[in-house]
Amino acid sequence: MLRAMFGGGNRLLKHSRGTKKIQSPVFIALLILVIVALVFFFGNNGDRSSLMPDLDNQKWNSFDSLVRLDPSVELRNGTDLIWQIPDSDSPKGILFLAHGCSGRAANFWDKSPKCLHCVGLPEERLIVLHALARGFAVFAISSKGVCWSLGEERLIVRSMIRWWISEQKMEKLPVYAMGASSGGYFVSALAAEFHFRAIALMIAEGVFSHLDITKKYPATLFVHMPKDEKRSRKIEKYLVVMREKGIDVAEVKCVEFPLTPQFFANRIPGLSPNLSVKLFDVFQDKGFIDENGYMRDDGRVIPWKTAIEERNIFLPKKALVNHIQEEMNLAFAYHEMTSLQSQEILDWFESH
């Protein structure tokens, strides 16, 4: 590769003694740059993404021309089972989604006549849209409690998954799973008993210290936020341990990014560009963001609701509070569900 890129370089160097003096330093500098680039791209073992997300091409309505949310809902074993199968006759796989603490299956789809209790949180709904657009059948189950438990509930969910797959006559399709936070711990435990082809654990290091895993354990992708240093250290440890056991593992790092005046309107359905600008101005005036637009703290601890009330800024829907909160947390990149790395996650699934 290097020979192909610089094959003409030696001929130029031999052209004259004068040009040799000029070209040699240039050639060496370019060679160093190429080597550094190659090391960065090919030597970063298992690190799938640590770059700034492309927010301009990931808006809440980016999939309007491809697919729309249209869920089916069923109450089974005292909990919600919500799913959607892509319009194509033959889905390429099945994706089970496990929410985090205080979440529920209804967070992944917009409110509609078919799902009156759905709330469509911005990141969750985009994860479903990404998956549907790529040809995956998607289903989610609500936990019985605030968070997932790892005892009997694991057995119940395993049974529900098998029942749903049988009902849909999809036994021949590969099954994947993604869980966030509490859902990530739950998926990591469930994967020791249910034959997922691959899993993604988001903002969760899993419960591997309590599992006796072998190389038969499914390929595992850790999607995490390095700002949470304690969790990152655990993930780095598990990456080594799992590779030693012969398990295919990798990581995706999710970094912080700055807010812009149009950020909330681009990410949240039903939030107008005008309101987005007002929110940004308040955040700027109150010092919630720095001079470059980066969040100074996690959105959960910033008194932003009081701040907008003082400015007589009122949200058209009460539900938008949770939507705005989620996007603030996402920008701070410490612990939040994220759809921004959906392509990398789905690539991981398809590669297995």
Residue 12 has pLDDT above 60, yes or no: no
Q: What is the pLDDT of residues 46-79, one digit of tens each?
A: 554 556 777 877 899 999 999 999 999 999 888 9
Contact 236, 249 (CB under 8 A): no
Domain limits of the chain? 2-42, 55-255, 263-332
The CATH code of domain 55-255 reads 3.40.50.1820
Report pLDDT for 296. Answer: 95
Q: Residue written as tokens 């109450």?
A: 75
pTM, entire model: 0.85
Using alpha carbons, list the distances in angstroms from residue 179 to 51, 187, 338: 22, 6, 11
More confident position, 50 or 2: 50
Residues 6+ apart with CB under 8 A from 141: 79, 80, 81, 82, 96, 98, 105, 157, 160
Share the mean pLDDT of the chain: 88
Residue 215 has pLDDT above 50, yes or no: yes
Report pLDDT for 39. Answer: 38
Per the DSSP assignment, residues forming a β-bridge with 72 are 83
